[in-house]
Amino acid sequence: MSKLENKKEKMILPPKHDVSLASFAPYLEWVVCDLCGSDDYKILYPATYTEHDFSTERFRSFTYANCDYARGHIVRCKNCGMVYMNPRDSDVASLYNKVEEDDFYFSSAEDRIISFRRDLEQFEKIIGKINSKQLLDVGCSYGFLLDVAVERGWKVWGSELSKKQSSYAAERHPGVCNNAVSECNFPSNFFDAITAYEILEHVSSPREFLKDLRQVLRPGGYLAMTTPNVAGWEAKLMGRYWLNLIRMHLYYFSPGTIRRILEEEGFTVISIKHHYRIVTLGSAIRWMKKYPIFYYPLHLLFGNRFAKNWRVLCGLNGNITVFARKNF
């Protein structure tokens, strides 16, 4: 048994300073740093869990953009600087599997398709010309990125934990699997490219997740990911009120920590840059509800039925785009 595995076994019960969370222990897990294996951390923002957060069906908090701000401590590893949630909901994969309709995600389909066209165009510039064009989208949801990829000449496969959403995507794309990548029986060294937009922050172990992606990506194949940037100005300005500090997000990467974990798992980082997406003003305003000082003036100015449908290029989500290549 490795040192990391041994430490994980020891973290079943809450540490002494987490006695206030002991009553929620059946629903939680305490973990060590996934980047370096250390269990020595500093609490940046205290936990916000209450009794109510475990008295209802927890999976409803794991729909896209749910913005459930109940969460465990946000901590920083004293050894490597990785920021993560500890404790957190246990067995998150099963919670995602139960997710049903996601109205907000589905209602913004047109915006997402436009954004995915932009994202894939950027990715294809990194990749260059290839012949087989076999692409895997991890966390493919309803399959909107797969729709765009097919338009651009790709052969597509997908992985999605939500049974409802994967079924919807599979109606158009038979290669969609309702499971984690490690359980989908994809051939080794098969895909030319993998996309994983807004996924890395959700997985129980980013390191194991990247190992699984590397297994199915061909040598020299390309990876594109987006994830919240904990070192970005948005996170620093908003502090504990940063929009990305939500129940679903288990890890918070900086350019430095995401570069380190990718390099340690056999990838070469090509670029890391700020991520922009196409959104309607109505969607952008809805995201601001947590900040009444911004929400109400914006809603007053742009919440009418005409302005709310205007599309803008938005980078206020605080995400970064990472392009990497699997080492030969």
Tell me the pLDDT tens digit for each residue of 26-74. 999 999 999 999 999 999 999 999 988 998 889 988 886 667 889 999 9
**CA–CA dist 116, 114 (Å, integer):** 6
**CA–CA dist 43, 46 (Å, integer):** 6
Of the candidates 229, 300, 223, the residue with the CA atom closest to the CA atom of residue 262: 223
- For residue 157, give both structure tokens: 């496969």
Q: What is the mean pLDDT of the segment spanning 320-328? A: 97
Query: In this predicted structure, what is the pLDDT of residue 4?
Result: 42
Q: Kindly give the interhelix angle for 206-216 and 255-264, rounded to the nearest 10 degrees.
A: 50
Contact 195, 216 (CB under 8 A): no
Q: 12 — phi, psi (to 5°)?
A: -70, -40
- List the single range of 67-76, 186-195, 226-235, 302-311 with lowest mean pLDDT: 302-311
Q: How far is CA 102 from CA 24, 66, 83, 309, in A?
A: 27, 9, 28, 20
Higher pLDDT: 305 or 196? It is 196
**CA–CA dist 222, 123 (Å, integer):** 9
Residues in the chain: 328
3: pLDDT strictly greater than 50: no
Decide the pairing of beta strands 217-228 and 251-252.
unpaired
Q: What is the mean pLDDT of the segment spanning 80-90? A: 97
Query: In this predicted structure, what is the pLDDT of residue 313?
Result: 80
Average pLDDT, rounded, for the chain: 89
- Please name each of the domains of the chain with its CATH number: 3-90 (no CATH), 103-326 (3.40.50.150)
Q: What is the DSSP secondary-structure string of 222-291?
A: EEEEEEEBTTSHHHHHHGGG-TT-STT--EEB-HHHHHHHHHHTTEEEEEEEE--EEEEHHHHHHHGGG-
Helix (H/G/I), strand (E/B), else coil: 112: helix
Query: In this predicted structure, what is the pLDDT of residue 280?
Result: 78
Say if pTM beats, i.e. exceeds, 0.75.
yes
**CA–CA dist 31, 256 (Å, integer):** 21
> How many alpha carbons fall within 13 Å on the CB side of residue 290?
15
120: pLDDT strictly greater than 70: yes
Per-residue model confidence as pLDDT tens digits over 283-298 = 777 767 766 777 788 7
Query: In this predicted structure, what is the pLDDT of residue 6?
Result: 43
At 315, the pLDDT band (50, 70, 90 cuts) reads: confident
